Amino acid sequence: MKVLHLISGGETGGSRKHVVTLLSRLPKEEVCLAVFQEGALAQEARESGIRVEVFAQSSRYDLSVLKRLVTFIGVEGFDILHTHGPRANFFGSFIKHKISCKWMTTIHSDPMLDFMKSGIKGKVFTKLNLFSLKRIDYFFAVSERFKENLMKFGISEEKIQAIYNGIEFTAPVEKTNHLYEELNLSEDDFVMTMVARLHPIKGHEMVLNSLKQLNNPSIKLLLVGDGPIRNELEQIADKLDLGKNVRFLGFRKDIQEIYSISSISLLASFSESFPLVLLEAANEQVPIITTDVGGVRELVKPPLHGWVVPVDNQPKYQEAMEEAYQLHVEKTLPLKGQNLRTYAESTYSLQHLAELTRETYKKMII
């Protein structure tokens, strides 16, 4: 059995982590990763011993790579093409009739919101993405909610497998004290960490507005990640006079160390599947405030593990932040993180994800 995973290669968020961690647990001789550009994803995959092939494009609209991709699939004799993300799905729709292998995809995000705030171009890309989904043989949906969404698009339930993200749980890292100096923090600060691509769908603006309303110099916000609206968010932070409260950290590889000095983890998205970043927070025993998206309620059980608030509801989000800060002052907040770690470790292992994925592959090629 041979499986080719196809993804654009420019991803910096959860889908990047999902692909690399999943492929690292599958037999190396059975999988290959194809990308359209070099980046953090390809680099991390190679470091994990995963075979990576680059089909470089002159631009994201360069379709000349499709002929090379079809030839590569045929020569290598892949049994399954497994795509991730709108661009890979769209290209899959172009070559489906030219390849003999089965085609499946993992739905990491809501197809209706992938091109949020992208104007007319975004509307066109959304239609193309939905067109591509209609042609795929089988789907992994990274939450039950996303499975239900696919069914609303007219996709048969028999073609969809809900499959949750998993990670390799490790011992929580010791508090990384040098980060306090690097990030100009005090050990007494209430540190909120938000690991998310800087994109409108992630809800950063609501978090910044909530932080402004709290008006507490002891509360610090670490924004980990990069993306198309970084300048816009930096301007909003300046306008709200949050320069002393907010740190824009960009892309980081030391997420575990950052969580080691964090009091709470934040997710404020308008839509998600099953965010891997929440499992990473759970690994480090960091409780969570999250909007009610995707499958988060299956991980975060309020009040035991944290807070789940309605999507795009700033008053409720701000209220959760205030409650978390009060528990921090009372020194009872860490208990929620310990409870979260215990539950997550027993339920969301990377091994389970890999085994279910491989079992599904085998069923597809029988």
Give 26-39 pLDDT, tens digit per residue: 999 999 999 999 99
Return the residue matching tokens 């929580």.
172
What backbone torsions phi and psi does residue 178 show, to the nearest 5 degrees? Answer: -65, -20
- Distances, alpha carbon 123 to alpha carbons 67, 130, 131, 229, in Å: 27, 11, 12, 19
Confidence of residue 11 (pLDDT cuts 50, 70, 90): confident
Q: Which residues contact 25 (CB under 8 A, 6 or more apart)?
A: 350, 351, 353, 354
Pairing of strands 31-35, 52-54: parallel
- Alpha helices, H only, 287-332: 314-329
**Side-chain half-sphere of 18: how many Cα atoms within 13 Å?**
30
Q: Give the domain ranges of the chain.
A: 3-166+349-364, 178-347
Instruction: Please report the pLDDT score of residue 366 as a whole number.
Output: 79
Instruction: Please report the pLDDT score of residue 320 as a whole number.
Output: 98
Among 2-6, 58-62, 133-137, which is the least confidently predicted range? 58-62
The 10s digit of each residue's pLDDT in 178-230 is 999 999 999 999 999 999 999 999 999 999 999 999 999 999 999 999 999 99
Instruction: Please report the pLDDT score of residue 197 as a whole number.
Output: 93
Which tokens go with 119? 């104007």
Please state the pTM of the whole predicted model: 0.72
Task: For the chain, count helices (H), then strands (E).
Answer: 14, 13
Which tokens go with 30? 């059975």
Instruction: Please report the pLDDT score of residue 23 as a whole number.
Output: 95
Q: Which DSSP letter does residue 98 get? A: G
Mean pLDDT of 344-366: 90
Containing H/E element for 81? Answer: strand 80-84
* Burial (CB count <10 Å: 0-12, 13-18, 19+), residue 265: buried
Instruction: Please report the pLDDT score of residue 115 as a whole number.
Output: 67
Closest by CA to 172, choosing from 262, 99, 256, 86, is 256
* Distance in angstroms (rounded) separating the CA atoms of residues 212 and 240: 7
The mean predicted confidence, pLDDT, of the chain is: 93
The 10s digit of each residue's pLDDT in 82-108 is 999 888 999 999 999 999 999 999 988
Among 18-22, 227-231, 232-236, which is the least confidently predicted range? 18-22
Tell me, yes or no, if the two domains 3-166+349-364 and 178-347 fold the same way.
yes
pLDDT surpassing 80 at residue 325 = yes
Domain 178-347 bears CATH identifier 1.10.645.10: no
User: Selecting from 3.65.10.10, 3.20.20.80, 2.40.10.340, 3.40.50.2000, what CATH number does the domain 3-166+349-364 have?
Assistant: 3.40.50.2000
Partners of 191 in beta bridges? 220
